[in-house]
Structure 1
Amino acid sequence: MMDEAQRPGRAGPILHFRGMAGQGIRLAAIVIRPKDEPAPPPIRLSEAEIAPRRIAQIAGIAVWRHDFTLTPADGGYEFEGTFHAVATDLSGDLRLAFVSCNGEENGDLDRDGAERNLMWTRLARDHARAPFALLLQGGDQIYADEATQGHPLSRDWPDKVPEVDDLAQLADLAEHLRRRFVARYLHVLQAPGYAAMAAQVPALSVWDDHDICDGWGSLPEQRSRSAVGRTLFGVARETYLLFQHGAAEGDIPELFLDASGESLGWKRELPGLTIAAPDLRSERHRHRIMGPAGWQAVEALAPQGEHVFLVSSVPLLGPRLSLLERVMMAIPRMQHYEDDLRDQWQSRVHRAEWRRLLAEVLKWRARAHVTALSGEIHLATRAVMGPDAQKVHQLVASGISHRAPPQAYARALGLFAGLGEAPLPGHPIRIHPLPGQRHRYVAQRNYLILARRDGRWQAVWHLEESGETPALDLSD
């Protein structure tokens, strides 16, 4: 018998973390139902009932949201007769999970569910053993690359983009894309391992290119700025807000650092911890990663915690890709990889901007420990920047469901990383193997567990074949 949440057009509850509220936490829970069904029931707390309100109707479904505060006395909430325990005391020992790359470019909707969601099942089992307080999602939560197929205006995207100014045709394209994006989000939200986590562990998410389309922002600008490109971005943004933040346009000033919504970077302050995520996609084009709104938000961030987790959807600390970029552009058969290289902070085109962000990170490091969390590369690795007195860690966990690339690719990248990089004088970047591993990059599906015990943070990767790594201390 099909589980209730897996019926067409149904999912939830899915928790989103809004922030602290005294000794409690503020949450939003979204519930998805077919548009013609009545409203879902209220959420029941120990001393209150929270009725939902509909925040969107899209592609045949309605999205309902319950906004509420949980205290340690509540311990969780009840919905449709099921009690969902939620970690509410975030002041002491704490466990967080970090994931990225939840899908694949081609055929993701047709994959065997048990194989696709194997690591989600393991993560849900880890949560059942020792609960997570937050789920951090570092980008590519869906792979929307095939969403453009099946419509005459977008079927050849991005290789051929027709010129069109007919508003009716563009509206038809937008409806086509909404149906396709919603199908991909429901495919993720209904997956058993994910659904079990989503009802109990509030999420904080940032998007990357596949949440829009492969290479968004690094494609030729006449394509991304075309009417078709703007329509694609608009639908991707609408569904990103809705399913990854439980939000509509009117919620932007409360949830994001830029009240205008030009940039969707965010910050959350927890006891002793700041979690921040700049938006590396909304203002991006081939010659920049962030625009004025994004940079203003980053430079005004002012983290308050004793430790800062900076979620950078594209790895902040990486090897000397500018050299590889020059070599590949000299080889005609390799030039089609230019967009992939330009997507990185380390691209020669973005080097000045990269230094600018690293300089901001060092300002935060003067007051707190800083750890960058990244995904995107479908490998697991780590890096360190700077002398020990100003050490900045980077942890990359990429591929919660995306299958790993060949081992030979990981080995070759590891050799290339041995060249080293130092964009800021006196602060070299070094790529290191994970604890217990021999090579710099691990080609296995993976996720990351971050744990604070007695005020000190440690990181453990869970690798599909090798299991858990020894703990890495982040507070040294």
Structure 2
Amino acid sequence: MTFHGKHPHLSAVGDFVSGIGHKISDIFDKDSDKSSVKSNDTGSHTTEDETVVVHDRDLHNSDPLLDDKEECDDSSIEAIRQEYEHIHPSSQFKCGPVLRFQDILVDRRRWIGSALIVTDKEGEPPRLVIRDPTKSRVGYSRPKYIETWYGNHFYRYDIQLTLMAHREKRIEYWFETENGERVAQPQTWNFHIPALDEAFNWAFYSCNGFTSDVVDPETNFHGANPLWDDLLVAHDQKPFHTMIGGGDQIYNDDVLATPEMVAWLKLDGDKRISAEFCEEKRNAVERFYFDHYVQHFTTGTYSKALSLIPSVNTWDDHDIIDGFGSYPPKYQLCDVMQGIGASASHFYLLFQQHANANTTDQVGLQTSKSEKGWNTITHFGKRTLVVLPDTRSERSKQTILSNHTYDLLEREIRNRLLPTTQHLIVVLGTPLVYPALKLFEEALEKLGDKLSRGSAIGKIFGKCKAFENVLGQFGPELLDDL
């Protein structure tokens, strides 16, 4: 790989690749000389242990779902799957249910995850009821209040289940009031958890949307439904235990189309950079993110997948805005751009991670001393460790991850490797290789007119008298952010 001085971001990418590679190599080289490796049931796992304690306390230490006794037969394991056309978001909720997978504690045979609902109804929220076919009784999860945004209440339901050694389980769940009345009767959802000795069957996706220059994607392409229709067909044939969202689970580029942002974009370059992210702009941006998440998570086949397959997510630029983190400092660090980023991260945590900035430790997210970003490290069974670094929160033209985050990842990977670990999967939203070829630079030059007309990058740079230099400033990084 060759790095050119004309494109400083190439050096940042090289440093990132080198840093990740060296950290992982060092871990395996050092651990290969040890007779044993730490398990994931140690004191270092404060997040998971705290989650277990909270959940056990809520269920008065009598949760039938955590009982090791198995009372199953083949007929209960092979229960008929619901037809997916009958699966839909609950009309009683503003959004949800949305499933999330957190981790597996192998030594405890424990599956950890959660479900999210958003409701604008006042009063006591419903409880989550879980039916494990290997147990004689149902289990319950009480709602954990996250926060309220303009009358919309976010609740997380922590779920913990006992894994069987050799057979997967089909778990059913629904919501009911404290007196046992079903919410959205007769709606029942389900998901699958693997056997302890079984390899995860998992799906990966990213770029789950359309850029703002795509004309009428619903009419021309039926939106994203064809992809998710195919995924649910595959899920019906062999259930997915989880799906990884590698970034861009939602395309939020149209936040720039709100009237308040349009007015900001019409300002001359210097005024645009110096403009404050006032309360009016903040309210408009937050309203867009909330409404767009609700619409995106409650319509089409994607909403069904979210309620049937637990997700593990990281984020990328389109979860915020096209190219966020890659603009030259004076644009990236201006008050409005930073305000957009903060608002996007707020709703990313709520909808995709079932937490807010004060509760990320409760859902297993890892933040380094830089206090930026939320990294995920999780076990896909006994043999696979999956790492999702947050390559967007600390991103700049010179940096993808800080040294603090590299150190955090090295330490946490080392702590979570098991004696049975065979595979380490690192999920990155950042391309690792940029061919230093003149052909690509020429292609970018030809794309300049299109960028200035349609994309978020073009909108932000327009009238700044900087667009003529943008290709030289960004180099091949634009290939990541188109």
Asked whether the 8 Å contact 1:31–1:40 carries over to 2, the reply is no
Match of 2:404 among 264, 286, 293: 293
Structure 1's 7 and 221: CA in aligned 2 closer, same or farther, altered over 3 A? Answer: farther
Q: Is the 1:321–1:341 Cα contact (8 Å) retained in structure 2?
A: no
Q: Is the 8 A contact 1:70 1:88 kept in 2?
A: no
Shift of 1:109: 11
Aligned match of 1:386: none
Distance 1:84 1:332 in 2: 46
Equivalent pair of 2:141/2:159 in contact (CA under 8 Å): yes
Residue 67 of structure 2: aligned partner: none
In the other structure, the counterpart of 1:102 is 208
Aligned residue number for residue 249 of structure 1: 357
C-alpha displacement at 1:342, in angstroms?
Answer: 4.6
* Among 149, 156, 159, the residue aligned to 1:68: 159
**Deviations 1:236-265 (CA, angstroms, capped at 9, x unpaired):** 111111111111112323522325541322
SS of 2:227 mapped into structure 1 = helix
Matched, 1:269 2:379: yes
SS in structure 1 opposite 2:260?
Answer: coil
| 1:130-185 C-alpha deviation (Å, 9 max, x unpaired) | 1001100111111111113224356445985635576xx62222221111112222
Structure 2 CA distance, aligned partners of 1:264 and 1:84?
A: 28
Counterpart pick for 1:138 among 246, 271, 284: 246
Inter-partner Cα distance in structure 1 for 2:404 and 2:262: 29
1:394 corresponds to: none
* Match of residue 25, structure 1, among 111, 120, 128: 111
Q: Which runs of 5+ in 1 are unaligned?
A: 348-375, 379-476
Residue 301 (structure 2) aligned to one of 193, 199, 218: 193
Aligned residues: 345
Alpha-carbon separation, structure 2, partners of 1:338 and 1:186: 38
2:272 maps to amino acid: P
Partner-residue secondary structure (3-state), 2:308 = coil
Whether the aligned pair in 2 keeps the contact of 1:277 and 1:310 (CA below 8 Å) is yes
Q: Residue 311 of structure 1 aligns with which residue?
A: 427
Q: Distance in 2 between matches of 1:153 and 1:235?
A: 14
How much does 1:340 deviate? 6.6
Identity across the alignment (%): 21
Match of 2:127 among 38, 41, 44: 41
Q: 1:338 and 1:63 mapped to 2: Cα distance?
A: 44
1:343 aligns with 2:343: no
In structure 1, what residue type is equivalent to 2:142?
A: A
Q: Say which SS state the counterpart of residue 156 (structure 2) adopts.
A: strand
The aligned amino acid for 1:17 is: F
Task: Return the offset for 1:283.
Answer: 0.8
Deviation at 1:19, TM superposition (A): 0.9
Listed one character per residue, the Cα deviations across residues 368-393 of structure 1 (whole Å, up to 9, x for unaligned) are xxxxxxxx689xxxxxxxxxxxxxxx
Q: CA deviation at 1:57?
A: 1.7
Q: Does 1:237 align with 2:353?
A: no
Q: What is the identity, as a one-letter code, of the residue corresponding to 2:258?
A: G
User: In structure 2, what is the Cα distance between the partners aligned to 1:339 and 1:63?
Assistant: 41
The answer (yes or no) to whether the contact 2:323–2:481 under 8 Å persists in 1 is: no
Cα distance change of structure 1 residues 2 and 276 upon mapping to structure 2, 3 Å threshold: closer
Distance 1:204 1:18, change over 3 A: same
1 or 2 for the larger relative contact order (CA 8 Å, sep ≥6)?
A: 2
SS of corresponding position for 1:98:
strand
Give the superposition deviation at 1:48.
2.2
Q: Residues 331 and 194 (structure 1 numbering): CA distance in 2 closer, same or farther, change over 3 Å?
A: closer
Do the aligned residues in 2 keep the contact of 1:59 with 1:182 (CA within 8 Å)? no
| Closer/same/farther in 2, CA of residues 294 and 154 from structure 1, 3 Å limit | farther
| Largest Rg, 1 or 2 | 2
* Change beyond 3 A, Cα 1:192–1:325: closer
- Match of 1:308, SS state, is strand
1:431-473 deviation per Cα after TM superposition (whole angstroms, max 9, x unaligned): xxxxxxxxxxxxxxxxxxxxxxxxxxxxxxxxxxxxxxxxxxx
Greater helix percent: which structure?
Answer: 2
Report which stretch shifted further, 251-260 or 173-182: 251-260
- Structure 1 residue 337: deviation in Å? 4.9
Q: Distance in 1 between matches of 2:312 and 2:438?
A: 35
